[in-house]
Amino acid sequence: MGVDMIDAAIQGLEGILQWKAFGLMIVGILISSTLVAMPGIGSKTAIALLLPFAFVLDKYEAIALIVSVWAVSNTANSITAILFSVPGGGGSQATIMDGYPMAKNGEAARALAASFTSSALGGVIGAIVLLAAIPILRPLVLLLGPPEFFMLVMMGVVMVGALSGKAPLKGIAVGVFGLAISLIGIQGQSGEPRYTFEYIYLFDGIGLVPLTIGLFAIPELIALAARKGTISDVALGDIGAGRRQGIKDAFIHWWLVVRSSIVGVWVGIIPGLGSSVADWFAYGHALQTCKGARETFGKGDVRGVIAVDAATNAKEGGALIPTLAFGIPGSSTLALIFAGLLIVGITPGREILTTQLDVTFSIIWLLIISSILTSLLCLAFVKQMAQATTLRPSILVPMVLAMAVLGSFANSNRLEDVAVMIIFGLIGLVLRATGWPRPPLLLGLVLGPLAERFMWTSYQIYEFGFLLRPGVLIIFGLLVLSLAYPMIQKRYMAKRQAGAL
Amino acid sequence: MRFLTALLALGVAFATPAQAAFPEKNIDFVIPYGPGGGFDTLTRKMIPYMEEYFAKQGSKISVVPVNMPGASGNKAAAYTSRSKPDGYTIQIFNIPGHGLGYITDNNAGYDITEMTWINQVGVDTYVVITSGAGELKSIDNIMNLGRDIKVPEQGPGSTSNMANKIVWTTLGKGAEYIFGYKSSQEYATAVLRGDGDLTMVVVGSAKRYNKAGDYNIVAHFDAKVDPEFTNAVNGAALGKPELDEVNLLRMVAGPPGMSPEVTNTLHAALKYAVEHPELQKWAADTQNGVVSSESPEAAQKRLMRALTLYKQFADIFK
C-alpha cells in the first residue's frame, strides 16, 4: 500500500468519524435494523426514500446515510427468519434452514448471536476483499462473462441433491416443480409470454417473496396454532449463556466464516445473481464441506446459520467491485446508491479509484464500522427477541400472520401476491407433512431463469464453443470436485476408522 | 311538489362536488417500474413541486407515487387506462416502450393513442458506445467492418433495442442482437468484455462512461451533438437526419376521456414542477433531460410524431 493509499485511508476514516457523518450512519443503521428488517420493506425502498436528503449533505455524510442502510440490511433480516421462519428479505431464506429449528430447540439466543456475529465478520471480510481487490478490480470484473456465470449457476443446481437430505429423488422432483414454476412469465430472449394465460400479474412470474413466505412460514404457523405450544419446545434457560455461546460459535468456526464470505463476495461480483442466491450457495457449500453436516443440517446446526449470514453480508463488498471499478452498478440497489454519489458530485469509475480514493476508503470503512455496530446493537436485544419464541400461539400466530401477509403484499402491492402466499402455504403444508424437502423448490425457481438466460446469451456469443472456455472448464472441475468431495470424505473417514480399529 | 323539491335538492347535493375545484383529494401518480430507475427518480423529484403548485392554488393535497412494476411497464399502463378519468390517477409513460403495442398492432391491454396526454416531462437521446480498447472508434469503422455487428442488448421490445434496430436498418448495417442482459449497465459491461461490438445507452449514462474513459462515443443522435462527445457524429452528419428524432420520451397521461379543465390543471402543475429552478439544477447535475411541453395538445402532437416515426419500422419490431 503506497503512501497515497494510506493517506486516502486515513482521510476516508476521518470523513466517516465526523460527528454529523457518524450520527447519520447511526440513523442509517437504525432504519436498516428496524424497518428494513421487516419482510416486504427492502433496503432499496428505504434508500429511494432517503435519496433526496443527499442534496443537503456533504459527500461523507451522504455516503454514511445511504451506504449504511444498504450495508447492514442483511444482518437484521435474519431475526424473523430465525424466530418465525419468515424471511426478512431475499437474502435470509437459507437462514431458516437451521435457524428456525434452533429456535424450536430453545436455542434462539444462540442462533441469533451466531447469526449477528458471523454477519459482522462477513461484512468485515467482504470489505477486506474489496480493499485487496482495488489494484485488480477492473480485470477481475472482465474475467467472467455469461458462459462462466452459467457454469456457476450449474454449481447451484448440483446443490439440489445436497439439500434433499435422504431423499434425493424427491428433492429432484420438487426442484423440477420449482423450475416449472419459474417458466411462468415473459421469456427474456424472445419477449413471448409463457403460461401467463393473458393474466397481467403472471407476466413477471410468481413472486419469490410471497412464495417463500407461503412455503416456509405458513406451514409453521399452522403447526404452531394446531399444537397450541410455543415455538420453543423447551424452556429457554440462560439466555445470556446462549448469547455467549453463539458469539463463540462464530469464532470457533472461523474458517467456515471465511470460506462462506468468499462465496458471498463472488456471488456479489456477478451481476444479476443477486441476494437470493448467495445464501443458498453458502448453505450448500457448508453442507458439502462440514463434517457430519448431512446428519445434523436442517435440524438446528449452528454452522448452517453461520455460513449463510457470513455470506449474505460479505456479498455487499463483492457487489461494490463492479460499481467502483467501472461505475456500473452491480444491482438495482447499487444503482440507487450510485445516484446518491452523483448527487454529491462523485462519479464512480476511474475517478473514484484515483483522485477520489478517499471516497472508496470511506465506503470500505463504513462497511466495516456499520457491520460491527449493527451486530452489537442486535446482540444487545437478543434477550427480548428470543423471548418471542415463548409467546402463546394465540398472540404470536396472528401477529406473524399479519407480518407474512403484509410482506407478501408488498412484493408488488397486489392481492394476487397474498393468493400466491396462500397457495404455496398449502403446498408447503403438504410437502412438510409428507416429508418432501422444500428448499429445492426455491432453488429451482431462482436458478432456472438464470441458467436459461446465461445459457442463451453464451450461445448467442460463442455458440456451443462457450462450454470449452478455460473459465468454464475450471468451474466445471470445481463442480465435479464438490460432487465428489462428500464421497471422498466418507471413504477417507471409513479408512481412518478401519485403521484405528 | 314536495317530492320535486326533494329531487332537486338531491340533484344539487350530487352536483356540488363536481363543481368544486380539482383536486380535492390525493392524486395517485403511477410509476410503471420499481423504485430507483430514471422514471421513478424523475417522478419523485417532480411530486413535491406539484404539491407546492396545488397548495398555492389552495388545494392542500398530496401526490402519491405508486410503483407498479411488471410486464415491461404494461401492467401499470393497463391499470391506468382502466382507471376513472377524474384526474386522480395519472402515470408517467415511456415512449416508445409503451407504444410498442400500437406500433406493431398488438394488443397490449390499452390503446396508447386514446390516453389523455397531459405533458411531456423529459427526453433522453441515444448514444452509440464501443469499447475503448477495441478498433471501432468511429461510425466509419463500424460501417466498414467486414461482418454484421454484434450488439449486446436487454431483449426484444426494449426501448434501446428499438432504437438500435432503427439506426442500423436505416444505415444499412447488418446487426445481430445478443439478448439476455438485465440492464443497460450489464450490456455496457458486456461491450467492454468483448461479448459484442457496441451498444446504445442514453446520453446521461454515456456522459458518465465518457468521463470514466473506458468507451469510445461514436454517435449521438440529437439535432446537436453534445460538446463532451468530441468524436461523435449525429444523424444529420450521416445524411439521415430522421435518426436524430429517435429518442426516449418521458410523458405523463391519464385515462382516456379526462375533461379539458382537469387536464389543464394537471398540465400547469407538471409544467411548474419541470420548470422549477431546483429541479432544473438537479437535472443538470444528474444529466437528466427534463423539458415541459407548452400545452397538453403539444404533448399529444409530440407523441404522435414519435409513434409515426416508429410505425414506419413496424416490420422490424414484429
In a domain, B83, yes or no: yes
Residues 129-148 on B with a CB inside 8 Å of A are none
Over the stretch A269-318, which tens digit does the pLDDT of each residue have?
Answer: 776 666 678 888 899 889 888 888 888 888 899 999 999 999 998 988 88
Section B251-262 average pLDDT:
95
Among B245, B268, B291, where does a domain finish?
A: B245
Residues 113-172 on A with a CB inside 8 Å of B are 141-142, 145-146
In a domain, B167, yes or no: yes
Over the stretch B291-302, which tens digit does the pLDDT of each residue have?
Answer: 888 899 999 998
Read out DSSP for A395-420?
HHHHHHHHHHHHHHHTTTT-HHHHHH
Q: Which of B74, B186, B201 to mutate to test the interface with A (most CBs of A within 10 A)?
A: B186
Q: From CA A412, how far away is CA B157, in angstroms rounded?
A: 22
Predicted local confidence at residue A343, as pLDDT = 72
**Residues B189, B300: one domain?**
no
Q: How far is CA B252 from the centre of its chain?
A: 9
Predicted local confidence at residue A430, as pLDDT = 95
What is the H or E stretch that residue A62 is in? helix A59-71
B213 confidence band (pLDDT: 50, 70, 90): confident
Residue carrying the nine cell digits 435440524: A299
In a domain, B8, yes or no: no
Is B157 within 8 Å of chain A by CB?
A: yes
| Residue A329 confidence (pLDDT) above 70 | no
Over the stretch A207-263, which tens digit does the pLDDT of each residue have?
Answer: 887 888 898 889 888 888 887 777 777 777 778 888 999 999 999 999 999 999 999
In a domain, B239, yes or no: yes
Domain coordinates in residue numbering, chain A: 3-500
Ramachandran area for residue B109 (φ above 0: left; ψ -120 to 50: alpha; else beta): left
Q: How many CA atoms lie within 13 A of A143 on its CB side?
A: 16
**Residues B119, B252: one domain?**
yes
CB A153 within 8 A of CB A450: yes
The grid cell for A114 is 451466531
Q: For residue B224, which amino acid is it?
A: K
How close is the nearest chain A Cα to the Cα of B240, in Å? 29
| Residue B12 confidence (pLDDT) above 50 | no
Q: In sequence order, what are the residues at sequence separation of 6 or more whose Cβ sits closer than 8 angstroms to the Cβ of residue B1?
A: none
- Enumerate the H helices of A327-438 as residue ranges: 332-343, 350-353, 357-380, 382-387, 393-409, 415-434
Q: Domain containing B197 — which CATH number?
A: 3.40.190.10
Q: From CA B119, how far away is CA B90, in angstroms rounded?
A: 11
Q: In terms of Cα–Cα distance, which of A296, A267, A300 is closest to A282?
A: A267
**Residues B134, B236: one domain?**
yes
Is A456 within 8 Å of chain B by CB?
A: yes
What is the H or E stretch that residue A196 is in? none
Over the stretch A438-479, which tens digit does the pLDDT of each residue have?
Answer: 888 888 888 888 888 889 999 989 999 999 999 899 989 988
Predicted local confidence at residue B172, as pLDDT = 93
The grid cell for A68 is 449504511
In a domain, B279, yes or no: yes
Nearest to A412 among B69, B214, B286 (CB): B69
CB B45 within 8 A of CB B282: yes
Predicted local confidence at residue A40, as pLDDT = 60
Predicted local confidence at residue B182, as pLDDT = 75
**Contact across the interface for B150 and A461, Cβ inside 8 Å:** yes
ipTM field: 0.70
| Residue A500 confidence (pLDDT) above 90 | no
**Contact across the interface for B209 and A327, Cβ inside 8 Å:** yes
Residues 3-32 on B with a CB inside 8 Å of A are none
Q: What is the 3-state secondary structure (H, E, C) of A134-175?
A: HHHHHHHHHHCCHHHHHHHHHHHHHHHHHHCCCCHHHHHHHH
Q: Domain containing B305: what range?
A: 27-123+247-317
How close is the nearest chain B Cα to the Cα of A345, in Å? 8
**Residues B77, B189: one domain?**
no
**Residues B260, B112: one domain?**
yes
Residues 167-226 on B with a CB inside 8 Å of A are 176, 178-183, 185-186, 188-190, 192-193, 195-196, 208-209, 211-214
**Residues B131, B75: one domain?**
no
Predicted local confidence at residue A331, as pLDDT = 64
**Residues B210, B291: one domain?**
no
Among B245, B273, B289, where does a domain finish?
A: B245
Q: From CA A459, how far away is CA A469, in angstroms rounded?
A: 12
The domain tally of chain B equals 2
Nearest to B193 among A142, A190, A200 (CB): A142
Q: Domain containing B284 — which CATH number?
A: 3.40.190.150
DSSP state of A214: I
Over the stretch A99-130, which tens digit does the pLDDT of each residue have?
Answer: 999 998 889 999 999 999 999 999 999 998 88
Could you tell me the CA-to-CA distances from A428 to A209, A215, A423, A432, A442 in Å, in that order?
A: 14, 4, 9, 6, 11
Q: What angle do CA A195, A199, A201 make, to 5 degrees?
A: 100
Among B198, B218, B245, where does a domain finish?
A: B245
**Contact across the interface for B69 and A347, Cβ inside 8 Å:** no
